[in-house]
Amino acid sequence: MIYDITRKVTAALPVWPGDTPFQVTPMLRKAEGASVNLTTLTMTAHLGTHADAYYHYADDGAFIGEMPLEAYIGPARVVTVTKADGPLMPDDVGEVQGAQRLLIHSPVSELGAVWPEQFPYLSVTLIDWLAGQGIRLIGLDSPSVDAFDSTDLPCHHALRRHHLVNLEALDLRAVPDGDYELVALPLCLDGACGSPVRAILRKAVMREA
């Protein structure tokens, strides 16, 4: 069983205010005699469900194509939080022992393709704690790991400090809490500060002893 936890990319999918929405421009059309349909894509690197590169908030940070791929594949735990706004603390998340990746399901997932007026985000306290528990990736359904109006982005910087990676704008509506295998690979883009991902969860396959 596969859970697709990726937001569907359409021209109407909201992006961060002021950022570049998704657009498909036809360059060639079969209907007009061309041998193929050929489209050009225009979009922000932070389109829908995406991974941030360290370069997004640090000039000397890695581009998305240089981020550690292994962090985006492997065991992941989904936990639901009830907080719809404000910073998340360790108590909000609960037990993470044995998890390597943590995906936080908040009320934002239930909004669907609507920009959330408010959303929960991480805290440096939570990131420090999760890093100490051996977590490598933190995924949110919120559009940012920091508060909407944050300019110093303490949570983004804390992730890099701990060599953690993050996913934003997941859609966890259909996923029961529990342990899964995550696959959410960013594209190998030079110079880019992020990349859309196709994020999926599947139930871990029991291996024969």
**Active site positions, annotated:** 56
Taking the least distance from each CB to Zn ion, the nearer of 52 and 141 is: 52
* Six-digit token string for 97: 């022992």
Distance CA 166, CA 147 (A): 15
Minimum CB distance to Zn ion, residue 204 (Å)? 28
Which x/- pattern over 45-64 shows residues binding Zn ion (rule: CB under 5 A)?
Answer: -x-----x------------
Taking the least distance from each CB to Zn ion, the nearer of 141 and 168 is: 168
Minimum CB distance to Zn ion, residue 27 (Å)? 28
Distance CA 85, CA 94 (A): 17
- Report the C-alpha dihedral over residues 72, 73, 79, 85, rounded to 10 degrees: 10
Q: Report which residue type is found at 16.
A: W
Minimum CB distance to Zn ion, residue 9 (Å)? 15
Q: Say whether residue 171 binds Zn ion (CB under 5 A).
A: no
Taking the least distance from each CB to Zn ion, the nearer of 38 and 148 is: 148
* Six-digit token string for 87: 């910073």
Say how far residue 21 (Cα) sits from the centre of its chain.
Answer: 17
Task: Give residues in contact with Zn ion (CB under 5 A).
Answer: 46, 52, 168
